[in-house]
Structure 1
Amino acid sequence: MNLASYDLFALGAAACWALGSVLSVSPARHLGAFAFTRWRMLLVAIMLWAVTLAVGSWHSLVPASWGVLALSGLIGIFVGDTALFAAMNRLGPRRASVLFATHAVFSAMLGIWLLGERISPQAAWGAGLVMVGVMTAILLGRHREENHAWESDRGSVGAGVALGLLAALCQAVGSLIVKPVMSLDVDPVAASAVRVTVACGVHFVLLVLGFKAASAQQAPNLRVLAQTALNGFIAMGVGMTLILLALKNGDVGMVAILSSVSPVLVLPLLWWRLGRAPAVGAWLGAALTVVGTALILLR
């Protein structure tokens, strides 16, 4: 595997997460963050285990990997995903995305501090441009007179911000924990299956124990379940597997920075969904992100 391959895996994951964030808005607001995440994980776990058993890749799951994968799934998926969709329900996909993009900063700092990772000056400049571009595109990407439901506040903005940052931190910690396992010959689909199953199991424990927030706000219907399954397949089934592939040989920090471009990729999807082009600031941010990504890829 060459250098460009795991860079492209990270960018592919960003594209999956961008599409997934747009697809998740309606079912997440229908079911609520906990119920949506639970249904999403259950459907994805079934998909991943079906693939794992069909190709026999479960043999790659050595005993020493189970605990690490379980802990990574608990933090990165159970806490992280639930917090992300709770933030999205309050702030909408655009603003939740900018908060989640800070996982790149957390990942880079943790990678340097705990794993001794280093990046070249060119890659550092590229990383800086990517982060500035992402923040510019999201913070300046809204028209002043925008009144679409996806851009409105629902509940406490402060709580939404805190949940978005919590999701970013959990994503960074989850990636850091799973990195040593993915450096071995563990199959990424099998690893994803374990992580998702553990997170899903905890969600069902909360439901059985009568945790109020775990109950669905509205009963799921066939359309909502279909949307949830599609979202899960793209964002978790494909996107999360691509991230694990990237982590097999890529640094945690660089993988996180490249995957953090997903908020910029959300912009054309929102244009299509809202029927209106993003503001000028969004295009400026997108241009900075493209330049920064090029610097990283050509390092």
Structure 2
Amino acid sequence: MSWIVAALGTAFFFAASNLIAYEAARELGGIVFSFLRTALASAGFLVIVLLTEWDGSLTRNEVLLLAASGLSGVFLADSLRYAALARLGPRMNTLVHTTSVPFSLLCGAVFLGQHVTGLSLLGTSVVFAGIVVAVAFGNRAAAGVWDGTPGQRAAGIGLALAAALSFAVSLLVAAPVMERGADPVTATAIRAMTGTLATLVPATFIRANRHQIARLNRRLALQVLMSGLAGTGIGLTLQLYALERGPVGIVSALSASTPIVLLPMVWMLTRRCPPVLAWVGAALAVAGIAIIYAGES
């Protein structure tokens, strides 16, 4: 049952990554933070590919598809997600990002004609119900600085939903290549490098972003590094380990329990228990994801 521990560990390290990233994302801005974090991830994956072997079976069209996936899933989704993180805080941002699962399902149905079961539609409804509960009723007795920027909630939710949709589109674009059996490390390296190069333009050519880069100090650099190590490094490694040894649907559902795992972590940091309806909303969102995977299995 080591895969269960690994899947739950994935959720834990994804949650930790969000908490670590929060201060740096607020001070540096979503685009600059995303650029720095993605650049580190690209370098790491490139080293791994060089130490192992580049997937030479990839065709030109497949490389272009992976690059397009990187534009949507790394450049757009990550930039939007970290901009939302700065406005919403880690708890609400992580919860809203769970919509990427039903968005993937709906995009597959609309653009690829994939069949959607009634159970999957039920799961989608449960996910959105959980978010509505948490957003509408679960933010009372807020945890101060950890609950985002005052007055920026609506903008943050819009950014988080856009990030989730962009991420879902990126999975849709990459799906044909991955289903063919492409090496996941090579594919991730292509996506990460494309996203880094795309983010380089707004990060360096927009004056406000250049000023943000100039604010980078040792403390913020360490937060960027540790966030990437926790999420992309340890989190994804544990998820791959779990997927190799356990049922995909159960592993995916356990790995997606980040919104619930995050709540006690925020509680420990702030010494204030999140509102009851915040727990209810997070539980509904995770349950909805589990129902979607059950409907698609």
- Normalized against structure 1, the TM-score is what? 0.79
The alignment yields a C-alpha RMSD, in angstroms, of 3.5
1:137/1:264 contact within 8 Å kept: no
**C-alpha deviation, 1:140, in angstroms:** 3.4
Following superposition, the deviation at residue 260 of structure 1 comes to: 5.5
Q: What CA distance in whole angstroms lies between the structure 1 residues aligned with 2:222 and 2:30?
A: 17
CA distance, structure 1, for counterparts of residue 208 and residue 178 of structure 2:
33
Structure 1 equivalent of residue 202 of structure 2: 206
CA contact (8 A) 2:21 2:227 kept: yes
Aligned to 1:149: 145
Given residue 39 of structure 2, which amino acid in structure 1 is its aligned partner? L
Please tell me whether residue 232 in structure 1 is matched to residue 228 in structure 2: yes
TM-superposed CA distance for 1:155, in Å, is 6.1
Q: Which residue of structure 1 aligns with residue 193 of structure 2? A: 197
1:272 offset after TM fit, Å? 2.0
Of 184, 187, 192, the residue aligned with 2:183 is 187
Shift of 1:134: 4.7
Output the CA distance in 2 between the equivalents of 1:150 and 1:128.
28
Which range moved further: 214-223 or 35-44? 214-223
What displacement does 1:200 show?
0.8
Taking a change above 3 Å as real, the CA distance of residues 16 and 108 of structure 1, as seen in their structure-2 partners, is farther
Match of 1:73 among 70, 77, 98: 70
Say yes or no: does 1:20 pair with 2:5: no
- Pick which of 188-197 and 158-167 moved more: 158-167
Q: Cα distance 1:9–1:113, how it changes in 2: closer, same or farther (>3 A)?
A: farther
Where in structure 2 are there 5+ consecutive unaligned residues?
none
Structure 1 residues 41 and 221: CA distance shift in structure 2, 3 A: same
Measure, in 1, the Cα distance between the counterparts of 2:122 and 2:154.
31
Residue 142 of structure 1: how far off its partner (Å): 2.8
Return 5+ residue gaps in structure 1 as ranges: none
Distance 1:142 1:153 in 2: 13
Tell me which residue corresponds to 2:137. 140
The match for 1:43 among 34, 40, 44 is: 40
- Conserved? CA contact 2:94–2:259, under 8 Å: yes
Residue 265 of structure 2 aligns with which residue? 269
AA aligned to 1:86 is: A
* Closer, same or farther: CA 98–42 of 1 in aligned 2, 3 Å: same
Q: Deviations over 1:111-144 (max 9, x none)?
A: 1122333344445444443443354345433333
- Once residues 232 and 159 of structure 1 are traced to their aligned partners in structure 2, the CA distance between those partners, rounded to angstroms, is 25
The one of 141, 155, 160 aligned to 2:156: 160
In the alignment, residue 60 of structure 2 is paired with which amino acid? P
Aligned residue type for 2:108: G
Deviations 1:58-116 (CA, angstroms, capped at 9, x unpaired):
44544332101111111111011111111221222223234333223322211112233
Q: Which residue of 2 aligns with 1:54?
A: 51
The 5 A counterparts of 1:97-116 are 97-116=94-113
Q: Which residue identity does 1:200 align to in structure 2?
A: T
C-alpha displacement of 1:240: 5.9
String of CA shifts for 1:234-283, please: whole Å, max 9, x gaps.
3234556758x97xx979xx999876643333212211222222211133
Taking the aligned partners of 2:81 and 2:28, their CA distance within structure 1 comes to 14
Residue number in structure 2 paired with 1:175: 171
Pair 1:91 & 2:88 matched: yes
AA aligned opposite 1:141: G
Q: 1:61 to 1:49 in 2, by over 3 A?
A: farther
With over 3 angstroms needed to count, the CA separation of the structure-2 counterparts of 1:156 and 1:289, relative to structure 1, is closer
**SS of equivalent residue, structure 2 residue 138:** coil
Match of 1:285 in 2: 281
Q: 1:32, 1:216 within 8 Å by CA — same for their partners in 2?
A: no
User: TM-score, with normalisation over the residues of structure 2?
Assistant: 0.80
- 1:42 maps to a residue whose letter is A
Closer, same or farther: CA 122–193 of 1 in aligned 2, 3 Å: same
CA distance in 2, matches of 1:229, 1:9: 22
